[in-house]
Structure 1
Amino acid sequence: MDEIVKAAMAKWPEVPACYGWLGLDARGQWHLRDDAVQRAGPFAGANPAGRGQRLEHEKLIAFIGRNYGNCDQGRWFFQNGPQRVYVELEVAPWIWRLQPDGGLCSHTEQLASYRSSWVDEQGRLYVDTELGLGLVHSQDMHLAADWVEQGRWLPQECLAAELPQRFGFVLSPQASLPA
Structure 2
Amino acid sequence: MDELVKQAMAKWPNVPDCYGWLGLDARGDWYMRDDSVQALGPFSRNKGSKLQHDKLKAFIARNYLADAQGRWYFQNGPQRVFVELEITPWVWLLQPDGSVQAHTGQTVCPQRCFVDEQGHVYLETDVGFGLVHSQDVGVAAQHVETGLWVPQHIQTQDMAHRFGFVLSPQNALQQQA
When normalised by structure 2's length, the TM-score is: 0.97
Structure 1 residue 99: deviation in Å? 1.8
Q: 1:53 aligns with which of 49, 53, 60?
A: 49
Aligned position for 2:159: 163
Moved over 3 A (4+): none
Q: Deviations over 1:29-65 (max 9, x none)?
A: 0000000100100002xx3xx1100000000000000
Structure 1 residue 172: deviation in Å? 0.4
Structure 1 residue 143: deviation in Å? 0.6
Identity %: 60
3-state secondary structure, aligned to 2:169: coil
Q: Deviations over 1:82-138 (max 9, x none)?
A: 000000000000000012333210010011001001111111100000110010001
Counterparts of residues 77-156 of structure 1 (less than 5 Å): 77-156=73-152
Q: 1:69 aligns with which of 58, 65, 69?
A: 65
Give, in whole Å, the separation in 2 of the partners of 1:11 and 1:70: 22
Unaligned runs of 5+ in 2: none
Aligned position for 2:12: 12
- Counterpart AA for 2:83: V
- Across the two proteins, how many residue pairs are aligned to each other? 175
- Counterpart AA for 1:138: S
CA RMSD of aligned residues (A): 0.7
Structure 1 residue 20: deviation in Å? 0.4
Aligned position for 1:36: 36
